[in-house]
Structure 1
C-alpha cells in the first residue's frame, strides 16, 4: 500500500534564517523565513518547528499561512541565538493546486552563524538557506 502513495518532490521552496536589524529595539535579530520561489501560490502552508540535541529538546512551534503568494516570503519566527547549538527542523506542508507537498528542512547544529551568511533568494538580506 505505501508503495502506491506518491509524494511529489518539493522544489523552489526554502527556509532561511537571516540576521536583521530591528530598528525599534536597536538589536540584530535572527529570524526564520519560508520562501516561495515558485511561479504559483502555495495554499494552507503548515510549519512545525523544533530543536533538539542528544540532551535537549525545545518546545514545538506551529504556524499556519493561508496563502503564500508566488515569488514571496513570510516570517516564521524570531530565533534566539542559543538555539543554533541544536539541530533545528522546520517541517513544511502545503498545497499546490490539488496536490499536497511535504518536506523537512534541517539546520544542523552550529551551522547558523555570521561566517555562514550568504545572499538569500527574493530577499535583500544575507542568511543561511536550506533547500
Structure 2
C-alpha cells in the first residue's frame, strides 16, 4: 500500500550494549565504522557511522531512550528511517489519520517521531533540521 510520505533511507539502528567502550572498539576495528558523539546529547548515544547511516549505541542499563518503555537488556532498541521535513509532516498527519499514537522529540539536530509496530518494536522517522554539514562527518 502506498503511503502519503516517502522514506529517504535507513538512518540508524539503535543497540543497547553491555559495555559501550568494547562495542565502540569492535564496530570501529572490525567494521570500520567511525565513532561520532554529539556534545549536546552527553555521553550517549554514540553513533558509529558509515557515511550517513550507522548504528547508535546506548548502554544497556542507561536512561530510557525515546520511544522505549521498559527494556534495559542488550539488544535492538529501535530502528530509524530518515525523511525530508516535508515528508515528516506528511507522516505525522498520516499517523493521526490512522489513529496511531506516537511520541515526538526534538533532538537538536533532528526532529523524530516514534511509534510501535504490531509486535511492539519501536520505529522512528527522523528529519534533519540543520544543514547536513553541521551533522554528518566530511
**What TM-score, normalized to structure 2?**
0.27
Higher strand share: 1
Higher helix share: 2
